[in-house]
Amino acid sequence: MSEPTVAAKNAMIMELEAGDYYWCACGRSEKQPFCDGSHKGTEFTPLKFTLDKKKTVPMCMCRHTKRPPYCDGEHSKLG
């Protein structure tokens, strides 16, 4: 499998409303951290996630988290 593009080496803290979201798994989206279709033609697909209430979340920007779409600090291990 190809490596995703690292959009940033930090989390993006966001306050999101309840609803469905599509997290960019390839790292190419211009609408980070959400999918804009830039993965087309790659082996990546966006990750759908749902929030049942308004919540502040740390969104992964490096695409190496073990808890997608949320940051788990893996960016600190990247060179």
Mean pLDDT, rounded, of the chain: 96
Q: Is residue 6 part of a domain?
A: no
Domains identified in the chain, total number: 1
pLDDT for 79 equals 77
Q: Is residue 7 part of a domain?
A: no
**pTM for this one?**
0.93
Q: Is residue 53 part of a domain?
A: yes
Q: Is 2 a residue whose pLDDT tops 90?
A: no
**C-alpha span between 40 and 42 (Å, rounded):** 6
**C-alpha span between 7 and 63 (Å, rounded):** 8
Tens of pLDDT, residue by residue over 36-70, are: 999 999 999 999 999 999 999 999 999 999 999 99
Q: Is residue 1 part of a domain?
A: no
Which residues span the domain enclosing 34?
12-77
Give the residue carrying structure tokens 């308004």: 54
